Amino acid sequence: MPYPNLGGDPVDLDALNDYLLSDRSPPECMDVSQLDGFLAGIVIGPDMITPSEFLPVIWGGDEPTFADADEANMVMGTILGRYNEIIDGLDETPASYAPVFWQDRAGNSIFEDWAVGFMQAVGLRQDVWEAVLADEEYAMLLIPIGVIAAVAEPEIGMVDVNFPESFVDELLDKADDLVPACVIGLRAYWREHATEPNHSSIPPSRLRH
Protein backbone atom coordinates (compact mmCIF):
# COMPACT_ATOMS: atom_id res chain seq x y z
CA MET A 1 0.00 0.00 0.00
CA PRO A 2 1.37 3.49 -0.79
CA TYR A 3 2.26 5.91 1.96
CA PRO A 4 1.55 9.63 1.94
CA ASN A 5 4.38 12.12 1.67
CA LEU A 6 3.74 13.94 4.95
CA GLY A 7 7.21 15.13 5.85
CA GLY A 8 7.78 18.67 7.10
CA ASP A 9 4.19 19.53 8.02
CA PRO A 10 3.69 21.10 11.47
CA VAL A 11 0.19 19.62 11.79
CA ASP A 12 0.21 15.90 12.58
CA LEU A 13 -1.14 14.45 9.36
CA ASP A 14 0.13 11.00 10.34
CA ALA A 15 -2.32 10.88 13.25
CA LEU A 16 -5.11 12.11 10.98
CA ASN A 17 -4.19 9.47 8.41
CA ASP A 18 -4.41 6.76 11.08
CA TYR A 19 -7.89 7.93 11.98
CA LEU A 20 -9.08 8.10 8.37
CA LEU A 21 -7.93 4.50 7.88
CA SER A 22 -9.66 3.33 11.06
CA ASP A 23 -13.11 1.78 11.42
CA ARG A 24 -14.36 4.91 13.19
CA SER A 25 -14.12 7.06 10.07
CA PRO A 26 -16.95 6.84 7.49
CA PRO A 27 -16.21 4.27 4.77
CA GLU A 28 -16.52 6.88 2.00
CA CYS A 29 -14.46 9.59 3.69
CA MET A 30 -11.53 11.26 1.96
CA ASP A 31 -7.97 10.11 2.42
CA VAL A 32 -5.25 12.54 3.48
CA SER A 33 -4.11 13.51 -0.03
CA GLN A 34 -7.67 13.90 -1.34
CA LEU A 35 -8.49 15.99 1.74
CA ASP A 36 -5.47 18.20 1.10
CA GLY A 37 -6.53 18.89 -2.49
CA PHE A 38 -10.08 19.57 -1.33
CA LEU A 39 -8.92 22.08 1.28
CA ALA A 40 -6.69 23.81 -1.28
CA GLY A 41 -9.67 24.22 -3.60
CA ILE A 42 -11.76 25.59 -0.74
CA VAL A 43 -9.06 28.06 0.31
CA ILE A 44 -8.38 29.57 -3.11
CA GLY A 45 -11.91 29.43 -4.53
CA PRO A 46 -14.30 32.24 -5.41
CA ASP A 47 -16.49 32.12 -2.29
CA MET A 48 -15.92 31.61 1.42
CA ILE A 49 -17.10 28.06 2.12
CA THR A 50 -17.64 27.35 5.81
CA PRO A 51 -16.86 24.10 7.66
CA SER A 52 -20.60 23.43 8.02
CA GLU A 53 -20.70 23.01 4.24
CA PHE A 54 -17.37 21.36 3.49
CA LEU A 55 -16.97 18.96 6.43
CA PRO A 56 -19.87 16.70 5.33
CA VAL A 57 -18.17 16.36 1.94
CA ILE A 58 -14.96 15.24 3.64
CA TRP A 59 -16.90 12.52 5.46
CA GLY A 60 -18.66 11.35 2.31
CA GLY A 61 -22.07 12.43 3.60
CA ASP A 62 -21.82 10.19 6.67
CA GLU A 63 -21.07 11.00 10.31
CA PRO A 64 -17.67 10.20 11.82
CA THR A 65 -17.39 8.53 15.21
CA PHE A 66 -14.57 9.08 17.67
CA ALA A 67 -13.04 7.03 20.44
CA ASP A 68 -13.23 10.00 22.81
CA ALA A 69 -13.21 13.79 22.95
CA ASP A 70 -9.43 13.90 22.55
CA GLU A 71 -9.60 12.04 19.26
CA ALA A 72 -12.43 14.28 18.03
CA ASN A 73 -10.40 17.38 18.89
CA MET A 74 -7.32 15.94 17.19
CA VAL A 75 -9.15 15.11 13.97
CA MET A 76 -11.06 18.37 13.67
CA GLY A 77 -8.10 20.42 14.83
CA THR A 78 -5.81 18.81 12.26
CA ILE A 79 -8.25 19.35 9.39
CA LEU A 80 -8.75 23.01 10.26
CA GLY A 81 -5.06 23.37 11.07
CA ARG A 82 -4.15 22.15 7.59
CA TYR A 83 -6.65 24.61 6.11
CA ASN A 84 -4.87 27.44 7.95
CA GLU A 85 -1.49 26.05 6.98
CA ILE A 86 -2.42 26.22 3.29
CA ILE A 87 -3.40 29.87 3.73
CA ASP A 88 -0.10 30.62 5.48
CA GLY A 89 1.94 28.98 2.72
CA LEU A 90 0.10 30.87 0.01
CA ASP A 91 0.44 34.18 1.87
CA GLU A 92 4.22 33.94 2.08
CA THR A 93 6.37 35.83 -0.43
CA PRO A 94 7.22 33.86 -2.44
CA ALA A 95 4.43 31.38 -1.78
CA SER A 96 5.62 28.19 -0.09
CA TYR A 97 2.51 26.06 -0.58
CA ALA A 98 3.30 22.35 -0.93
CA PRO A 99 0.55 19.81 -1.69
CA VAL A 100 0.36 16.51 0.17
CA PHE A 101 0.78 13.71 -2.36
CA TRP A 102 0.83 10.00 -1.72
CA GLN A 103 4.03 8.13 -2.53
CA ASP A 104 4.41 4.55 -3.58
CA ARG A 105 7.08 2.31 -2.10
CA ALA A 106 9.50 3.33 -4.84
CA GLY A 107 9.16 6.98 -3.84
CA ASN A 108 7.08 8.03 -6.84
CA SER A 109 4.42 10.64 -6.17
CA ILE A 110 0.78 9.81 -6.84
CA PHE A 111 -1.23 12.88 -7.80
CA GLU A 112 -4.68 11.61 -8.67
CA ASP A 113 -6.20 11.61 -5.15
CA TRP A 114 -5.12 15.20 -4.53
CA ALA A 115 -6.56 16.29 -7.89
CA VAL A 116 -9.86 14.50 -7.21
CA GLY A 117 -10.18 16.37 -3.90
CA PHE A 118 -9.44 19.70 -5.55
CA MET A 119 -12.08 19.08 -8.21
CA GLN A 120 -14.59 18.16 -5.51
CA ALA A 121 -14.04 21.63 -4.08
CA VAL A 122 -14.51 23.12 -7.54
CA GLY A 123 -17.76 21.15 -7.79
CA LEU A 124 -19.19 22.99 -4.78
CA ARG A 125 -19.19 26.16 -6.89
CA GLN A 126 -18.98 24.65 -10.37
CA ASP A 127 -21.08 27.32 -12.09
CA VAL A 128 -18.75 30.02 -10.78
CA TRP A 129 -15.60 28.09 -11.67
CA GLU A 130 -16.79 27.85 -15.29
CA ALA A 131 -15.50 31.42 -15.65
CA VAL A 132 -11.95 30.08 -15.34
CA LEU A 133 -12.45 27.72 -18.26
CA ALA A 134 -13.76 30.65 -20.31
CA ASP A 135 -10.52 32.56 -19.68
CA GLU A 136 -7.91 31.32 -22.16
CA GLU A 137 -4.95 32.16 -19.92
CA TYR A 138 -6.24 30.79 -16.63
CA ALA A 139 -8.01 27.77 -18.11
CA MET A 140 -4.55 26.27 -18.56
CA LEU A 141 -4.17 26.26 -14.78
CA LEU A 142 -7.39 24.38 -14.07
CA ILE A 143 -7.39 21.95 -16.99
CA PRO A 144 -4.28 20.02 -15.87
CA ILE A 145 -5.79 19.38 -12.45
CA GLY A 146 -9.05 18.25 -14.03
CA VAL A 147 -7.20 15.94 -16.40
CA ILE A 148 -5.20 14.36 -13.56
CA ALA A 149 -8.38 13.90 -11.51
CA ALA A 150 -10.07 12.23 -14.46
CA VAL A 151 -7.37 9.55 -14.53
CA ALA A 152 -8.87 8.20 -11.29
CA GLU A 153 -12.48 9.41 -11.59
CA PRO A 154 -13.44 10.35 -15.16
CA GLU A 155 -16.81 11.73 -14.10
CA ILE A 156 -15.38 14.34 -11.72
CA GLY A 157 -13.55 16.55 -14.20
CA MET A 158 -14.99 19.71 -15.73
CA VAL A 159 -13.05 19.04 -18.91
CA ASP A 160 -14.99 17.07 -21.54
CA VAL A 161 -12.03 16.57 -23.83
CA ASN A 162 -10.21 13.30 -24.49
CA PHE A 163 -6.53 14.19 -24.31
CA PRO A 164 -3.90 11.90 -25.83
CA GLU A 165 -2.31 9.47 -23.41
CA SER A 166 1.06 11.11 -24.10
CA PHE A 167 -0.34 14.45 -22.88
CA VAL A 168 -1.61 12.89 -19.65
CA ASP A 169 1.72 11.14 -19.09
CA GLU A 170 3.54 14.45 -19.55
CA LEU A 171 1.25 16.14 -17.01
CA LEU A 172 1.93 13.41 -14.48
CA ASP A 173 5.67 13.69 -15.08
CA LYS A 174 5.55 17.42 -14.31
CA ALA A 175 2.87 17.39 -11.61
CA ASP A 176 5.21 17.83 -8.63
CA ASP A 177 6.00 21.36 -9.82
CA LEU A 178 2.92 21.98 -11.95
CA VAL A 179 0.24 21.45 -9.30
CA PRO A 180 1.46 24.03 -6.75
CA ALA A 181 2.03 26.54 -9.57
CA CYS A 182 -1.57 25.98 -10.74
CA VAL A 183 -2.91 26.50 -7.22
CA ILE A 184 -0.99 29.75 -6.82
CA GLY A 185 -2.11 30.98 -10.23
CA LEU A 186 -5.76 30.10 -9.66
CA ARG A 187 -5.71 31.90 -6.34
CA ALA A 188 -4.46 35.00 -8.14
CA TYR A 189 -7.33 34.67 -10.62
CA TRP A 190 -9.99 34.60 -7.92
CA ARG A 191 -8.43 37.49 -6.08
CA GLU A 192 -8.85 39.49 -9.29
CA HIS A 193 -12.33 38.17 -10.12
CA ALA A 194 -14.07 37.98 -6.78
CA THR A 195 -17.76 37.08 -6.69
CA GLU A 196 -18.30 38.58 -3.24
CA PRO A 197 -17.91 42.30 -2.43
CA ASN A 198 -14.32 43.11 -1.51
CA HIS A 199 -13.48 39.39 -1.39
CA SER A 200 -10.38 39.89 -3.53
CA SER A 201 -8.84 42.20 -0.94
CA ILE A 202 -9.60 39.98 2.04
CA PRO A 203 -7.56 36.80 2.55
CA PRO A 204 -9.48 33.62 3.43
CA SER A 205 -10.45 33.62 7.08
CA ARG A 206 -8.40 31.40 9.36
CA LEU A 207 -10.54 28.73 10.94
CA ARG A 208 -10.74 27.94 14.61
CA HIS A 209 -11.83 24.75 16.28
Residue 130 lies in a domain: yes
Residue 144 lies in a domain: yes
pLDDT in tens, 140-150: 999 999 999 99
| Model confidence, pTM | 0.87
Question: What residue numbers bound the domain in which 184 lies?
Answer: 3-201
12 near 78, Cβ under 8 Å?
Answer: yes
Question: Given pLDDT bands bounded at 50, 70 and 90, which one contains residue 7?
Answer: very low
Residue 207 lies in a domain: no
| pLDDT score, position 200 | 37
- Report the SS3 class of residue 180: helix
Residue 208 lies in a domain: no
CA end-to-end span of the chain: 32
Residue 209 lies in a domain: no
Percent of the chain with pLDDT over 90: 68
Output the domain CATH number for residue 83. Answer: 1.20.120.740
Residue 19 lies in a domain: yes
Residue 110 lies in a domain: yes
The mean per-residue pLDDT over the stretch 102-125 comes to 92
Q: If 0-12 CB within 10 Å is exposed, 13-18 middle and 19+ buried, where does residue 30 land?
A: buried
Query: Is the backbone peptide bond immediately before 10 cis, with ω within 30 degrees of 0?
Result: no
Number of domains in the chain: 1
Residue 25 lies in a domain: yes
